[in-house]
Structure 1
Amino acid sequence: MSNKQQTHRHGVGGRVMRSALMVLAIGLAACSSGPKKPQPAPLEPVVPLVAAQQVWSQQVGAIDPLLVPVVRDGLLALANAAGEVSVLQAETGQLRWRAAAGAPMGAGVGFDGQRVALVTRDSDLVVLTPTGVAWRQRIAARVYTPPLVAGERVFVLAGDRSVSAFDARTGAPLWRWTSRGTEPLVLQQAGVLTAVRNTLVVGIGGRLVGLDPDAGRVQWDTVVARTRGATEIERLVDPVGRVGRDGDVLCVRAFQAAVGCVDTVSGRTLWSQPADGAVGVQADAERVYGTEANGRVRAWRRSDGGQAWSNERLLHRGLSAPLAIGRSLAIGDAQGYVHLLARADGALLNRLATDGSPIVEGPLAAGNTLIAVTRAGGVYAWRPQ
């Protein structure tokens, strides 16, 4: 059984889809004769070298695996599996507003500080404001990536590798772009859809594509990872969220293939290194940080992709994407812990507990507030030194 067939066993949802007609679930049922699942590494005693005081917590209801919480303008937006959206003050946890999409959530959320966008399981793009549902639009294919709300527009990356743009106020369709000649399978997890300056950046196959957000024209197209392997599943190399950004440089992970950085002005790949992971990365001016499928935490030099350090103390714990906050790197796990490692060398600095269910997507930061959302719907906030 290949590493890609074991993806969900490390808590990263390794399912794939062939167009809108066929979904291939790569799970335990297909791997019943495979090796026994490794046990999570036991937690070592930790002496807190970075103090972190819990400042608030909230409960929003059970969370769908495809939820990606978003922080904008000091506000935290998230949706539960039933499609109920909550917008909280990130520093205090105070509820600012709540609205319901009227259907279970399929993918989300996008947030620009005013509007929340999500896609229901019936493939309806729904935009909500404090007064309720503003508008709906049907998407022709399944959606696994949160919509992006930016520049008075809503952008959607669908499972057929198309990108659509809508007017954020009215829902009027603006343009649609479809990639050609890519692999027939697509990951059933959040991909890359983000903006850098006035370029919309989308992950397609093993590439990053820069689009003109006004018209959907391709500005540049660059390779981060090339397909390889004997089967369609093994050739899956879609870029996955979250992404790391340092100025105009965007660093991403291609699914269980590589980590690389791209100059979004020239559209040139600066470097790409083999890496066996399935969740996103974080970047600063010195390093790119990521977690591998087996729980190894790695840092690469931002300049050339050489390895800066590696930590194997959290093996098989189902690690989330990392978050850089202060001098720490915050990483969630499938047992509900948030681990704080030193950005400089990966040393363990502290460990924070939640409700025992997996941390969704990865920790978030709002100023100096560290936030983690769990699959059970718990929202926890700490203030590290």
Structure 2
Amino acid sequence: MRAWLILALGASLAGCSLWGGDSGKPKPADLGPNIPVLGVRQAWTARIGPVQEMPLAVHAGSGQLALASADGVVAVLDARTGGDVWRAALGVPLSAGVGSDGRYAAVVSRDNELIVLESGRVIWRKRLGAQVFTAPLVAGARVFVLGSDRSVSAWDAKNGTRLWNQVRPGDPLVLRQQGVLLAVGDTLVVGQSGRLVGMNPDTGVVRWEAPVASSRGTNDVERLVELVGPASRMDDAVCVRAFQAAVGCVNAARGNLQWAQRAGGGQGLGGNDIAVYGTESNGTLIAWRRSDGTRLWTSERLQHRRLTAPLALGRSVVVGDDTGWVHLLSREDGAPLNRLSPDGSAIAAQPVVAADTLVVVTRNGNVFGYRPD
């Protein structure tokens, strides 16, 4: 087990080494003066606590936001005001969070413990057999967990009874970042290695598998192939990124790959009904046509910045970077519309939208809500 953990850390560092380390990272180009084409104002601010390197997923739904800090604070905020709906301090560091269905919220501790809360109160805890870096999925009164060993398990959200567990052979290296785990209709959709897999959520039985990318290379790092989140879903079309290999879209109703294009990024995707947006490891932003994967445009304006997964929002594409900027770009061609600097620290996760509010979380643990002027 000790050797496996070291290899898991090695894969994480391998992802960072694509930049050549901080000393070898090219300097980002000066962005010039900000000329706001799209007016945005800060509506509120809140605090959750330092996020550090935890792969944070912010759950947005029904006008609320569920999020967590690396040191174990879990909170649900009102997206209209930024005020607490509830807040709980678990007292343990977290490795993944947050999944929620509006009633239950689920996180995983660094000690591999699945913790489920209701209205700010812990209702059960269960020990897991592997580390978890993907926020649990809470749906249909169940909690689904994707382990770093590519196991998938389902738990009764009310009492913590394990309903099923599916284990697949794992690779020696894994990524310490968010994977793919979502519900599409009556199918649980999971990323396992370079495949998108559709499962029966009641039993864990595999319904279909769609390969997005295949393993290649001569050593464990080069052969590593993993789907990374977040995914971009529109109806039955689920578009995903295979780490440093490809971007592709799968029809989750039929289980077939619609298209795949080579791409060299390490973060998940955003999108709308027209396009899928992704960021390459060198900071290039790319838009692909959702229907067939044709490249629509490329923007190199943000090169040499570590970018989050993009958010498609109205006429804009929103992306955060490691220097503390949030960029609003035109969804038509990537032209700048505005940029924001919440608190100067790196943006921690893909921006989200709830209650007509753009929400951004920084590595310092501050949460900012923005609305159009």
Q: TM-score range by the shorter chain?
A: over 0.9
Distance 2:167 2:124 in 1: 24
1: CA distance, partners of 2:21 / 2:248 = 34
Per-residue deviation at 1:384?
A: 2.4
Match of 1:218 among 206, 209, 213: 206
Aligned counterpart, 1:38:
26
2:302 equivalent among 309, 314, 318: 314
Which position in structure 1 is the counterpart of 2:320? 332
Equivalences, count? 368
Contact 1:18 1:24 in 2 (8 A): no
Residue 225 of structure 2 aligns with an amino acid whose one-letter code is: V
Distance 1:248 1:370, change over 3 A: same
Q: Does 1:143 align with 2:128?
A: no
Task: Describe the superposition over 1:180-210 as per-residue Cα deviations: whole angstroms up to 9, x where unpaired.
Answer: 4x53322111100111111111101100000
Shift of 1:81: 1.4
Once the two structures are superposed, residues 329-357 of structure 1 have per-residue CA deviations (whole angstroms, 9 ceiling, x without a partner) of 00000111110011111111000111111
> Which structure has the highest helix share of the two?
2
- 2:74 pairs, out of 82, 85, 94, with 85
Distance 1:332 1:35 in 2: 22
- Which letter does structure 2 place at the counterpart of 1:158? G
Hey, what's the Cα distance between the residues in 2 that align with 1:195 and 1:30? 32
Determine the C-alpha separation between the residues in 2 that align with 1:328 and 1:215. Answer: 40
Q: Do 1:41 and 1:317's aligned partners in 2 also have CA atoms closer than 8 Å?
A: no
Kept in 2: contact 1:20–1:141 (CA 8 A): no
Amino acid across the alignment from 1:261:
C
Match of residue 61 from structure 1: 49
- Larger displacement relative to structure 2 (162-171 or 223-232): 223-232
Gaps of 5+ in 2: none
Query: Does 1:201 find its partner at 2:189?
Result: yes
Query: What residue number does 1:230 align with?
Result: 218
| Bigger shift: residues 355-364 or 256-265 | 355-364
Which whole-Å CA distance do the structure 1 matches of 2:4 and 2:206 have between them?
23
SS of match in other structure, 1:185: coil
In the alignment, what sits opposite 2:144? 155
Q: Which residue of 2 aligns with 1:99?
A: 88
> Could you tell me which amino acid in structure 1 is paired with residue 154 of structure 2?
A
CA distance in 2, matches of 1:273, 1:170: 43
Distance 1:381 1:293, change over 3 A: same
Does the CA-based 8 Å contact 1:68-1:360 persist in structure 2?
no
Q: 1:129 to 1:343 in 2, by over 3 A?
A: same
**What amino acid is the match of 1:299?**
A
TM-score under structure 2 length normalisation: 0.94
Aligned to 2:252: 264
CA pair 18-69 structure 1, distance change in 2 beyond 3 A: farther
**Residues of 1 paired with 2:236 and 2:4: CA distance?**
33
Q: Using the alignment, how far apart are the partners of 1:178 and 1:135 within structure 2?
A: 23
Aligned to 2:112: 123
* One-letter amino acid matched to 1:373: V
Distance in 2 (CA, whole Å) between partners of 1:41 and 1:179 is 44
Residue deviations 1:145-176, cap 9 Å, x none?
A: 11111110001001111001000000000000
Alignment root-mean-square deviation, CA: 2.0
* Segments ≥4 residues shifted beyond 3 Å: 17-24, 27-35
Shift of residue 43, structure 1, vs aligned partner: 1.9
Unaligned runs of 5+ in 1: 1-16
Letter in 2 for 1:61: G
TM (norm. structure 1) is 0.91
Does structure 1 residue 172 correspond to structure 2 residue 157? no
Choose 24-33 or 269-278, whichever is displaced more. Answer: 24-33
Is 1:47 aligned to 2:32, yes or no?
no
CA distance in 1: counterparts of 2:200 and 2:17, whole angstroms:
43
Alpha-carbon offset, residue 29 of structure 1:
9.3
